[in-house]
Structure 1
Amino acid sequence: MTPAARISAAIEVLAEIETRRRPAADALKDWGMSHRFAGSGDRAAIAGLVYDALRRKASASWLMGSEGARAVVLGTLRLERGIAAAEIGRLFSGERFAPAPLSDEERGRLETGSLERAPPHVAGDFPEWLTSSLAAVFGEELASEMGALARRAPLDLRVNTLKGSRELVGAELAHLSPVPTPHSPLGLRIAHGPGERAPSIQSDPVFLKGQVEIQDEGSQLAALLAAPRPRDQVVDLCAGGGGKTLALAAAMDNHGQIYATDADQRRLAPIHARLERAGVRNVQVRTPRGKADAVQDLAGRADLVLVDAPCTGTGTWRRNPDSKWRVRPGSLEVRLKEQAAVLDRAAALVRPGGRIVYVTCSVLPEENDGAVAGLLERRPGLAAISAAETLTAAGFGQMADALRFTRYGLQMSPLRTGTDGFYVAVIQRTA
């Protein structure tokens, strides 16, 4: 396919997403199935442009004065890809498979339009109703922070120390030019540019042998900040597919005991194969049955309870740009209730002197400090440990300047730490 034909396809897919309110991955998959002539390179380029357009949807629409799929793609080519108006005009030629020629208004906006007077939600490409919440966290850095959250994310890997070192795995992946992550001692980062498909790590021997897992550096750091000890009794209450469970097991060097469970048993389905591939032997998976609590027999016994809470996922917008336009006040309210419930469960499980580590992939204060404040109000026998103490105890004191400290925890972000937007708070049971 020609570059112009790829642009036409991206406009078609984006229109499908907007019209039918479909997840981008589903729309792209269906387009590929009905256009089998498109090669893997074509599909990767089309997907890259679609996701970039979703990242820059608000600013691209502002630039072009329209929210239509064609306008959003045009604005994205100018703002995100940095293509000059004249070159865009050559691509939009109206020739075979190319988009229709530019109108005079489109050409004028591409040549002279700017975001100079755009409101924060436009310049930062996020839903307007979240402005006050995000401003409460980021203050004067709101535009810069949200701009960073609208950029492409790299591919991060966590080296499984049960099966190798970062140096060894990095050498085996030399063909992908990985570099060490700046903060996590276990991470490798692989960059990929616009229109490039991320490497298929799942088919690489190092992945098949369990030497690496795909995991954002922020998620790696959250598990490391939990600082589990080799003989601890640990409960992972929202284990899902097991990403952080695996990280905890490696940090404990297969000693102690981890109980992995999740309120939705379907989310636990992948964990068994992942544990086997990673060589993990200290995890007991507790699958819920009916309304019974799968870990209620552990009440008051856990040294550490990890709550990787269900949340809006606002911190992962770099990787899931279409999700940010689907966040609604109602969905936030649902998540807040779920977070309160799982934190109350954690409080019942932790022993005196034990810790709850509360993690979200969110940058919204309601889901972060707000959830912790609610727990502390409901449970007088708990106290938050300062973020500075958490960093020092886990051996990450040098990260203090890169982080944003909140009232009860710490916030990572693409601008400050180069990670997804993760929040971590540590709460100790004092009585």
Structure 2
Amino acid sequence: MENQLLAVKALVLVETRGMPIPEAVERTCRDRPIDVRRSVQAFVYETIKRRNLLDELVAAGSDAHPEDVRSPYVRQILRVGTLEMKIWRNPPPAVTDCMVRIAKRLVGSKAGAFVNAVLRGVERVSVKDVLEDRPWTERLALKYGHPEWFVLYVLDLFEGDRSRVELLLRANNRVPPQYLRINRLKLDPLVAGDVLEREYGIVTEPTFLEEVRALVRGRGYGSRAWREGLFDVQDLASASASAALSAEPGETVLDVCAAPGSKTTHTAERMLDEGEVWAVDRSEWGLRVLERRCRRLGITCVRTICRDARGLTVDDLPDVPDRILVDPPCSTTGVWNRNPDSRWKPKPLERFAERQWEILEPALRIAEEHGCTLVYSTCSVSWEENEAIVKRALEEFDVKLVDAGVLGSPGIEEFRGERFSGYKKVRRYWPFRHDTAGFFVAKMKGKG
């Protein structure tokens, strides 16, 4: 019962406070053994991933829909109980008894009676009952735990290729490897695999980026080697953006929306900590995180600038940059494999795209006037935030699109009647193809 109780508490923190899943699990499982933490984490991730199917099962077995239940604790108790009973196929009487006791403990006896009645109704319903006779997109959305609008969206993105749609949805339910970005200031990437295994018990394997290795066995984040600054944890696709920037030692780089600093520190490492990286972000807290990251990695060439990137000009900077990296806030539709709670938040793609344009436009103006190289990236899979943004940049500014220069898939050529001729020069990363986050990278050059 303890694991389920802790899972319900963590789920309520995620729902009511918007707390990230790892933080919610950490807070509820403080001082608990590692096996308890892992169990609670599994409950939380699976409950959030399958929220829509769990809610439909509850509604089919009773007159209650979890979204209509006033108490967040009761809502999550019903979901966790349904997960155990219908997805994990644990014995219904034992599951119901456990959930009733949790409801009485957290809410009261009336809540316990309500949970008992609802879960006994759920016991009589099957997943097959809920899925059959529904349209294909709705059925797939429930089967793989995604909002239906997203299934319809990627069906258009993949030009009606249902097999690719299903591959993406399935991959979004599989957590990709943890990638270790070797800090070349402290460890030669060419010998990093041997050193990490021999001296730290961390087994890794190479990727298409020399300095990024996939964790196979051992602890990455928080390990002794991590604390010593031998590596940072960064998704392979994300590292491809700073690799595409190709910053050289001695250059100056403007990093827009830099916090919490994965690409900032990667860029500084590739520059061998020689030159300057100006990390611009409006979040003081985020920049403090970035500065701590730099200290751990032994980086000294990063200078933080706390301000909104919209309206940024060269006058706001120490000098004219050689290169610019813009990775603005996005819909995060590419990282649902790591952050499943983001699936159920509103995703007004056009609004995200307009905000991204407001951030990118000043950087484009600097690149246009001074001949800078500019890399634009997002962790979104949407056309509006990626190809459409780059297309607009090429139409409104005197910049040219150049090949991103990193491995990956080409972009999307056409979406809902709109075409993008430069799709072969940009890069997309797909969870089902590259075992990474969904990601987009484009590289442009100002004509000066």
Q: Deviations over 1:295-329 (max 9, x none)?
A: 53559933321001111212111222112212342
Distance in 2, matches of 1:358 and 1:288, equals 19
Residue in structure 2 matching 1:10, options 7, 18, 22:
7
Name the stretch that deviates more: 266-275 or 54-63: 54-63
Residue in structure 2 matching 1:247, options 248, 266, 269:
266
How much has 1:354 moved relative to structure 2?
2.8
Higher RCO, 1 vs 2 (CA within 8 Å, ≥6 residues apart): 1
Distance in 2, matches of 1:272 and 1:325, equals 32
User: Could you say which residue in structure 2 is the equivalent of 1:311?
Assistant: 330
Percent identity at matched positions?
24
1:109 aligns with 2:128: no
How much has 1:339 moved relative to structure 2?
0.9
Name the stretch that deviates more: 239-248 or 98-107: 98-107
Superposed, 1:181-330 pairs within 5 Å as 181-190=206-215, 199=219, 201-202=221-222, 204-288=223-307, 293=312, 296=315, 301-329=320-348
Amino acid at match of 2:207: P
Amino acid at match of 1:269: R
CA-based RMSD of the aligned residues comes to 3.5
Residue in structure 1 matching 2:181, options 145, 154, 158:
158
1:335 aligns with 2:352: yes
User: Could you say which residue in structure 2 is the equivalent of 1:195?
Assistant: none
Residue in structure 1 matching 2:166, options 143, 150, 168:
143
8 Å contact from structure 1 (residues 216, 419) kept in 2 = yes
1:23 aligns with 2:39: no
Q: Deviations over 1:145-203 (max 9, x none)?
A: 12211322432221111111322453257535x322533322233369xxxxx94732x
Identify if the C-alpha distance between structure 1 residues 255 and 59 changes in structure 2 by more than 3 Å, giving closer, same or farther.
Answer: same
Identify if the C-alpha distance between structure 1 residues 293 and 264 changes in structure 2 by more than 3 Å, giving closer, same or farther.
Answer: farther
Superposed, 1:367-406 pairs within 5 Å as 367-379=385-397, 381-385=398-402, 389-391=403-405, 394=406, 396=407, 399-400=408-409, 406=413
Amino acid at match of 2:3: R
Q: TM-score, normalised by structure 1?
A: 0.79
How much has 1:359 moved relative to structure 2?
0.6
Q: Secondary structure at the match of 2:259?
A: coil
Q: TM-score, normalised by structure 2?
A: 0.76
Q: Secondary structure at the match of 2:153?
A: helix
8 Å contact from structure 1 (residues 56, 150) kept in 2 = no
Q: Secondary structure at the match of 2:322?
A: strand
Identify if the C-alpha distance between structure 1 residues 155 and 262 changes in structure 2 by more than 3 Å, giving closer, same or farther.
Answer: same
8 Å contact from structure 1 (residues 5, 97) kept in 2 = no
Identify if the C-alpha distance between structure 1 residues 76 and 315 changes in structure 2 by more than 3 Å, giving closer, same or farther.
Answer: farther
Q: Secondary structure at the match of 1:109?
A: coil
Distance in 2, matches of 1:304 and 1:234, equals 5
Amino acid at match of 2:328: A
Distance in 1, matches of 2:290 and 2:446, equals 29
Q: Secondary structure at the match of 2:201?
A: helix
Distance in 1, matches of 2:428 and 2:379, equals 10
1:355 aligns with 2:362: no
User: Could you say which residue in structure 1 is the equivalent of 2:70?
Assistant: none
Structure 2 gaps of 5+ residues are 67-74, 104-114, 414-419
User: Could you say which residue in structure 2 is the equivalent of 1:121?
Assistant: 141
Q: Deviations over 1:8-57 (max 9, x none)?
A: 54345436655x46435465466447xx7x54432332132111211222
Q: Secondary structure at the match of 2:372?
A: strand
Count of aligned residue pairs for this structure pair: 400
Q: Secondary structure at the match of 2:282?
A: coil
Amino acid at match of 1:109: V
Distance in 1, matches of 2:80 and 2:331, equals 26
Amino acid at match of 2:95: F
Superposed, 1:24-173 pairs within 5 Å as 25=21, 28=25, 31-32=28-29, 38-62=32-56, 65=60, 67=66, 68-70=75-77, 72-73=79-80, 76-77=83-84, 83=88, 85=89, 87-89=90-92, 91-92=94-95, 94=97, 105-110=121-126, 112-113=128-129, 115=131, 117=134, 119=138, 120-139=140-159, 140=161, 141-164=164-187, 165=189, 166-171=192-197
Identify if the C-alpha distance between structure 1 residues 182 and 106 changes in structure 2 by more than 3 Å, giving closer, same or farther.
Answer: farther
8 Å contact from structure 1 (residues 311, 360) kept in 2 = yes
